[in-house]
Amino acid sequence: MRRVKLDKIDLKILRDLQDEGRMTNVTLAQRAGISAPPCLRRVRALEEAGFIRGYHADLDGERIGFEVTFFALVGLDSQSEGVLSAFENDMAAWPEVRECHMARGPHDFVLRIVARNTAHENELTTRLTAAPHVATVQTIQVIRTSKRRPGVPVDPDEAAPKS
Protein backbone atom coordinates (compact mmCIF):
# COMPACT_ATOMS: atom_id res chain seq x y z
CA MET A 1 0.00 0.00 0.00
CA ARG A 2 1.34 3.40 -0.97
CA ARG A 3 1.91 5.89 1.85
CA VAL A 4 0.15 9.23 1.51
CA LYS A 5 0.74 12.22 3.77
CA LEU A 6 -2.64 13.87 4.07
CA ASP A 7 -2.84 17.60 3.50
CA LYS A 8 -5.78 20.02 3.68
CA ILE A 9 -6.83 19.29 0.08
CA ASP A 10 -6.81 15.52 0.70
CA LEU A 11 -8.98 16.03 3.78
CA LYS A 12 -11.45 18.13 1.76
CA ILE A 13 -11.61 15.39 -0.86
CA LEU A 14 -12.18 12.71 1.78
CA ARG A 15 -14.86 14.78 3.53
CA ASP A 16 -16.71 15.57 0.32
CA LEU A 17 -16.59 12.01 -1.03
CA GLN A 18 -17.80 10.66 2.31
CA ASP A 19 -20.69 13.15 2.36
CA GLU A 20 -21.64 12.77 -1.30
CA GLY A 21 -19.84 9.93 -3.07
CA ARG A 22 -21.63 10.38 -6.40
CA MET A 23 -20.33 13.84 -7.20
CA THR A 24 -18.30 14.18 -10.39
CA ASN A 25 -14.56 14.59 -10.32
CA VAL A 26 -15.02 18.11 -11.71
CA THR A 27 -17.31 19.09 -8.82
CA LEU A 28 -15.00 17.43 -6.32
CA ALA A 29 -12.02 19.33 -7.77
CA GLN A 30 -13.89 22.64 -7.60
CA ARG A 31 -14.77 22.07 -3.96
CA ALA A 32 -11.15 21.16 -3.17
CA GLY A 33 -9.86 24.21 -5.05
CA ILE A 34 -7.80 22.30 -7.62
CA SER A 35 -8.23 21.25 -11.25
CA ALA A 36 -9.77 17.92 -12.25
CA PRO A 37 -6.65 15.92 -13.33
CA PRO A 38 -4.71 16.36 -10.05
CA CYS A 39 -7.93 15.74 -8.12
CA LEU A 40 -8.38 12.39 -9.86
CA ARG A 41 -4.73 11.50 -9.14
CA ARG A 42 -5.26 12.34 -5.46
CA VAL A 43 -8.43 10.24 -5.26
CA ARG A 44 -6.65 7.26 -6.82
CA ALA A 45 -3.72 7.69 -4.40
CA LEU A 46 -6.14 7.85 -1.45
CA GLU A 47 -7.82 4.66 -2.69
CA GLU A 48 -4.49 2.86 -3.17
CA ALA A 49 -3.32 3.93 0.30
CA GLY A 50 -6.48 2.52 1.87
CA PHE A 51 -8.04 5.78 3.08
CA ILE A 52 -11.03 5.11 0.80
CA ARG A 53 -12.25 1.54 1.27
CA GLY A 54 -15.03 1.61 -1.31
CA TYR A 55 -18.20 3.23 -2.58
CA HIS A 56 -21.77 2.14 -1.96
CA ALA A 57 -25.39 3.24 -2.07
CA ASP A 58 -27.00 3.87 1.33
CA LEU A 59 -30.27 1.92 1.09
CA ASP A 60 -33.40 2.50 3.15
CA GLY A 61 -33.86 -0.95 4.68
CA GLU A 62 -37.45 -0.34 5.76
CA ARG A 63 -38.51 0.54 2.22
CA ILE A 64 -37.18 -2.79 0.93
CA GLY A 65 -38.67 -4.92 3.67
CA PHE A 66 -36.25 -4.86 6.62
CA GLU A 67 -38.45 -3.25 9.27
CA VAL A 68 -36.39 -4.18 12.33
CA THR A 69 -32.86 -3.25 13.32
CA PHE A 70 -31.42 -4.63 16.51
CA PHE A 71 -28.12 -4.95 18.29
CA ALA A 72 -26.95 -8.21 19.80
CA LEU A 73 -24.43 -8.25 22.63
CA VAL A 74 -22.76 -11.64 22.46
CA GLY A 75 -20.63 -13.41 25.05
CA LEU A 76 -18.62 -16.47 24.06
CA ASP A 77 -17.55 -19.39 26.26
CA SER A 78 -13.90 -18.86 25.29
CA GLN A 79 -11.77 -15.96 24.17
CA SER A 80 -9.15 -18.06 22.42
CA GLU A 81 -8.14 -16.70 19.04
CA GLY A 82 -9.56 -19.77 17.29
CA VAL A 83 -13.01 -19.32 18.87
CA LEU A 84 -13.03 -15.55 18.23
CA SER A 85 -12.01 -15.99 14.58
CA ALA A 86 -14.52 -18.79 14.02
CA PHE A 87 -17.32 -16.59 15.40
CA GLU A 88 -16.27 -13.70 13.15
CA ASN A 89 -16.24 -16.03 10.14
CA ASP A 90 -19.70 -17.34 11.03
CA MET A 91 -21.10 -13.82 11.33
CA ALA A 92 -19.50 -12.78 8.02
CA ALA A 93 -21.65 -15.46 6.35
CA TRP A 94 -24.96 -14.11 7.77
CA PRO A 95 -26.35 -11.49 5.36
CA GLU A 96 -28.54 -10.00 8.11
CA VAL A 97 -25.50 -9.22 10.27
CA ARG A 98 -24.48 -5.84 8.90
CA GLU A 99 -21.77 -5.05 11.45
CA CYS A 100 -19.71 -7.26 13.74
CA HIS A 101 -17.47 -5.61 16.32
CA MET A 102 -15.22 -7.39 18.79
CA ALA A 103 -15.62 -5.44 22.03
CA ARG A 104 -13.82 -4.86 25.28
CA GLY A 105 -16.08 -5.10 28.30
CA PRO A 106 -18.77 -7.48 29.50
CA HIS A 107 -19.53 -8.77 25.97
CA ASP A 108 -17.19 -10.19 23.36
CA PHE A 109 -19.06 -8.92 20.29
CA VAL A 110 -21.58 -6.26 19.34
CA LEU A 111 -23.59 -7.02 16.20
CA ARG A 112 -25.92 -4.79 14.21
CA ILE A 113 -28.53 -7.00 12.62
CA VAL A 114 -31.48 -6.29 10.32
CA ALA A 115 -34.65 -8.38 10.15
CA ARG A 116 -37.81 -8.30 8.06
CA ASN A 117 -40.07 -8.27 11.16
CA THR A 118 -40.09 -9.31 14.82
CA ALA A 119 -40.68 -12.97 13.93
CA HIS A 120 -37.54 -12.86 11.77
CA GLU A 121 -35.70 -11.10 14.62
CA ASN A 122 -36.71 -13.91 17.00
CA GLU A 123 -35.57 -16.53 14.47
CA LEU A 124 -32.19 -14.82 14.10
CA THR A 125 -31.79 -14.48 17.87
CA THR A 126 -32.56 -18.19 18.34
CA ARG A 127 -30.08 -19.09 15.62
CA LEU A 128 -27.45 -16.82 17.18
CA THR A 129 -28.00 -18.30 20.64
CA ALA A 130 -27.46 -21.79 19.20
CA ALA A 131 -24.25 -20.84 17.35
CA PRO A 132 -21.05 -22.60 18.42
CA HIS A 133 -19.38 -21.19 21.57
CA VAL A 134 -22.13 -18.60 22.18
CA ALA A 135 -22.75 -18.41 25.93
CA THR A 136 -24.95 -15.30 26.20
CA VAL A 137 -26.97 -13.10 23.86
CA GLN A 138 -28.65 -9.85 24.86
CA THR A 139 -30.64 -8.02 22.19
CA ILE A 140 -31.63 -4.38 21.96
CA GLN A 141 -34.27 -3.48 19.37
CA VAL A 142 -33.99 -0.07 17.72
CA ILE A 143 -37.20 1.96 17.96
CA ARG A 144 -36.05 5.03 16.06
CA THR A 145 -32.77 6.26 14.59
CA SER A 146 -32.30 10.02 14.91
CA LYS A 147 -28.73 10.15 13.62
CA ARG A 148 -26.93 7.90 11.19
CA ARG A 149 -23.68 9.07 9.69
CA PRO A 150 -21.27 6.77 7.91
CA GLY A 151 -17.52 7.12 8.24
CA VAL A 152 -15.71 9.52 10.54
CA PRO A 153 -15.73 13.31 11.09
CA VAL A 154 -13.26 14.99 8.73
CA ASP A 155 -12.27 18.62 9.31
CA PRO A 156 -9.73 19.93 6.77
CA ASP A 157 -8.97 22.87 9.09
CA GLU A 158 -7.67 20.58 11.82
CA ALA A 159 -4.14 19.26 11.69
CA ALA A 160 -3.86 16.38 9.24
CA PRO A 161 -3.39 12.99 10.91
CA LYS A 162 -0.16 11.14 10.40
CA SER A 163 -0.49 8.30 7.90
pLDDT at 2 > cutoff 70: no
Contact between 100 and 114 under an 8 Å Cβ cutoff? The reply is no
> Domains of the chain, with CATH numbers?
8-48 (1.10.10.10), 62-141 (3.30.70.920)
pLDDT at site 158: 80
Contacts for 17 with CB less than 8 Å, ≥ 6 apart: 23, 28, 43, 52
Assign 16 to helix, strand or coil.
helix
pLDDT, tens digit, 9 for 90 and up, residues 117-157: 999 999 999 999 999 999 999 999 999 999 999 899 999 98
Model's pTM, two decimal places? 0.86
pLDDT, tens digit, 9 for 90 and up, residues 64-83: 999 999 999 999 999 999 99
